[in-house]
């Protein structure tokens, strides 16, 4: 299974990071205070990335998230079926 790639290593290298004062900054995408040295998230965009590359990375990451979500839903439905089968055995 392919994992999501983190586009930026730390927050301070992201387009959405805005420094505030000497110690930290804010993330305009998430609307929260962050430290520049924190590990970058999957929503981050490198400061000098082309618009077409940004779109391509977003599409790839959203496809991976969708595939991972579908796999988790299938696993949960299988577990629910198994739990119903064992519940019938206990009641009978």
Residues 54, 86 within the same domain = yes
Same-domain status, 35 and 54:
no
Does any domain span residue 2? no
Domain that holds residue 23: 7-49
Q: Are residues 43 and 56 in the same domain?
A: no
Q: How far is CA 81 from CA 52, 73, 74, 78, 92, in A?
A: 44, 12, 11, 5, 17
Tally of structural domains, the chain: 2
What is the reported pTM? 0.48
| Residues 73, 33: Cα–Cα separation, whole Å | 33
Q: 23 by DSSP, 3-state: which?
A: coil
Q: Is the dihedral of CA 76, 80, 81, 83 positive or negative?
A: positive
Co-location of 64 and 84 in the same domain: yes
Residues 14 and 40 in one domain: yes
| pLDDT score recorded for residue 40 | 86
1: in domain: no
- How many other C-beta atoms can be found within 10 angstroms of the C-beta atom of residue 37? 10
Domain co-membership, 90 together with 56: yes
Which residues, given as ranges, of the chain have pLDDT below 70?
1-7, 49-55, 57-59, 61, 63-66, 68, 81-92
Overall residue count recorded for the chain in this entry: 92
């Amino acid at each position: 299974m392919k994992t999501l790639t983190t586009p930026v290593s730390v927050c301070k290298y992201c387009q959405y990071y805005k420094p505030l004062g000497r110690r930290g900054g804010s993330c305009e995408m998430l609307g929260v205070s962050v430290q520049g040295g924190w590990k970058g998230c999957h929503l981050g965009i490198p400061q000098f990335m082309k618009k077409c590359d940004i779109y391509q990375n977003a599409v790839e990451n959203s496809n991976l998230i969708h595939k991972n979500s579908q796999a988790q839903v299938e696993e949960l439905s299988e577990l629910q079926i198994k739990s119903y089968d064992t519940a019938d055995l206990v009641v009978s």
